[in-house]
Amino acid sequence: MRAVLVDAAARHFAAHPYGDVTTKEIADAAGVSMSVMYRHFPTKTDLFREVTLVPLISAIEEFAGSWRSQRGRPWTSYQLAREFLRDLYVNLIDHRDALVALVSADGLDSDLVEELVAAINRLFDQVLLIGVYESERVGWYDREGLDLAIRQIAAMVFGSIVFDRWLLPPGATNDQENFLDSLTQLAVWGLARRPPDGYDEPETD
């Protein structure tokens, strides 16, 4: 029942401004009574928090678990980056409405905004710790600017999901494996944040 409520809420939050959505509308869409709604989510704020944070939490937890499992026999940087991007993409594509709701949220209480931002920051702090460890292990990229780089990489995934119909060429995500490979190549090669060996910038007049 909780999942049904969350799905109904995600659709409503994605389609309407936060301030215009009522818990009654969500309960009706989920086919439950208000008493059932309040038993699971006492307030609309609780429901919005669940809708927007849970997919991201699931993605980060899955990646952290995969990273811990490979430490005895470390994967390549490419494999690790691909796992991070896969976990993000797979978890978030199934909850596209939640991302749209977060992007289009209007009228949120400032306390809720601060709470959501703090929660998202804590999640990316976990990824940063992994990134710092890996930078020291592999040595080909450093930790300076790594926090921003990780978030920019994640933003590629968010944008690919939320703005897919506007920004991506037709059929770009039909082959998910090929799409993830393209994201991974951009992420891994971009982590170095320096020109490749042999790169010579042409001089301009």
Residues 37 and 51 in one domain: no
> In terms of residue numbers, what domain contains 62?
44-192
Q: How many domains does the chain have?
A: 2
Residues 113 and 156 in one domain: yes
Residues 128 and 29 in one domain: no
The confidence band for 66, taking pLDDT boundaries of 50, 70 and 90, is very high
Residues 49 and 18 in one domain: no
Q: Are 17 and 106 in contact (CB under 8 A)?
A: yes
Burial group, residue 76, by CB count within 10 angstroms (0-12, 13-18, 19+): exposed
Residues 72 and 135 in one domain: yes
The confidence band for 203, taking pLDDT boundaries of 50, 70 and 90, is low
Residues 38 and 48 in one domain: no
Q: Are 13 and 22 in contact (CB under 8 A)?
A: no
Q: Is the per-residue pLDDT at 110 higher than 80?
A: yes
Task: Report pLDDT digits (tens) over 135-186.
Answer: 898 888 888 889 999 999 999 999 999 998 898 999 888 899 999 999 999 8
Task: Report pLDDT digits (tens) over 13-56.
Answer: 888 888 888 999 999 999 999 999 999 999 998 998 888 888 88
3-state helix, strand, coil in the chain (%, to 5): 75, 0, 25
